[in-house]
Amino acid sequence: QVQLVESGGGLVQPGGSLRLSCAASGSIFSIDVMGWYRQAPGKQRELVAAITSGGSTNYADPVKGRFTISRDIPKNTVYLQMNSLKPEDTAVYYCHAEGFKDRALLYPFGSWGQGTQVTVSS
């Protein structure tokens, strides 16, 4: 199936920046939307940002003005530039993609990455 691999997480001080990457691979025909979710310990997984194949974006209110999502369609890769990070941004960040797989069959798919830890602490 479609595999998603995240990278770029780590430890950063408040006010710092990180750039997350998520690369999709497999028998992908198209990816209609890719997004980033995050889940902090004891909290529900929440949408952070999403971007469609047409470039439309949406952001969760807490990250508006600080995070930017972008994508490279030929590379099936989505990025999340995170600036002005706050301790409350600490979470495991998961990449998600939806689209169609198998060029001959066009099955819809929804896939999750394994997650990458982002820790914002001084």
Q: What is the pLDDT of residues 80-98, one digit of tens each?
A: 999 999 999 999 999 999 9
Identify the DSSP state of 55: -
1, pLDDT greater than 90: no
Mean pLDDT for 10-24 is 98
Residue 84's pLDDT is what?
98
Is residue 112 exposed (0-12), middle (13-18) or buried (19+ Cβ within 10 Å)?
Answer: middle
CA pseudo-torsion sign 30, 4, 117, 8: negative
